[in-house]
Amino acid sequence: MDRIKSLFIEVKGEMLKVAFINSFLDAIMVFLIAYFVISFFNIRLLYIILMPGVFAMVFFFISMSLNIKRMRLKQMEDANPQVKEMLRTAHDNMSQDNIMMAALFEELKGKMKTVSTGNLMDSRRIIVRVISAVALVFLIVFVSAISIDLEKIDIPFDKLRFMIPGKEEIFAEGSLAELAFNETEVIYGDASVAKLGNDQIDLNMNPSLSKIDFTQVSEAEDEALRQGGVVQEIGANPDAFSSQKLLDDAEQAANYTQRIKDI
């Protein structure tokens, strides 16, 4: 019977709507979760929106195709037990054309008026989705407000650090404590890059940039004394090049190194 066929097409349409709504809600959840996770990292705003968007889109299409595949008359029956056997009977006897089938169709048509997309929707599931979405939105707003950046946080668990994007190469092998301070390769990069070899390098220095005109310094001192002010050191301090200064600097550097080692 054509009328029954059209009724079933209508039913399938309703089920398709439900599949769409469910997939859409799930995709929103995926988007928010992905956005929430990504917002912890210092990534450009464009990617923060783009990446969860791509995830959500892919999820939506996969979920939609799975829902359509799973779409069976049984779903409709389970959601509407009052029409369960009636619907199944009408479906199995579509080819029959008699008074009883006509009566069944009339009754089914009447009952199907009460069967809408709402009956097929799992209200509990929708409520959970909506509440979760609202909670996630609040969390995202909160995280944005306090500007959490995982890369800046000193994570006590060294093994977790490799999870930070862009740090995988450095922390891929062993923990930070295992790295010797003198492993310059790690600190300064590839040693071969810095190696100069025995090639002669010609360095040309422009004397005008380093030459000190002591005449000018003296004049400046005199000028300052003439004005009754404090003598200001304009030129280079001869002490800066003294051996004592170099020793102090070396000692300070050694102390600093020792402190870092102690850490």
Kindly tell me which of 107 and 223 has the beta carbon lying closer to other proteins: 107
Give yes or no for a contact between 42 and 143, defined as CB atoms under 8 angstroms apart.
no
Give yes or no for a contact between 194 and 188, defined as CB atoms under 8 angstroms apart.
yes
Q: What is the DSSP string of 202-253?
A: -----HHHH---HHHHHHHHHHHHHTT------S--GGGGSHHHHHHHHHHH
Q: Which of 12, 17, 91, 109 binds other proteins (CB under 8 A)?
A: 91
| Residue 149 interacts with other proteins (CB under 8 A): yes or no | no
| Residue 107 interacts with other proteins (CB under 8 A): yes or no | yes
Q: Which of 92, 154, 202, 262 binds other proteins (CB under 8 A)?
A: 92
| Residue 111 interacts with other proteins (CB under 8 A): yes or no | no
Kindly tell me which of 103 and 194 has the beta carbon lying closer to other proteins: 103
What single-letter DSSP state applies at residue 152? G
Q: Tokens standing for 219?
A: 């004049």
Kindly tell me which of 29 and 90 has the beta carbon lying closer to other proteins: 90
Residue 190 backbone class (left: φ over 0; alpha: ψ -120 to 50; beta: rest): beta
| Residue 3 interacts with other proteins (CB under 8 A): yes or no | no
Q: Which of 65, 98, 242, 255 binds other proteins (CB under 8 A)?
A: 98
- Please report, as ranges, the residues that interact with other proteins according to CB under 8 A: 85-86, 88-93, 96, 98-104, 106-107
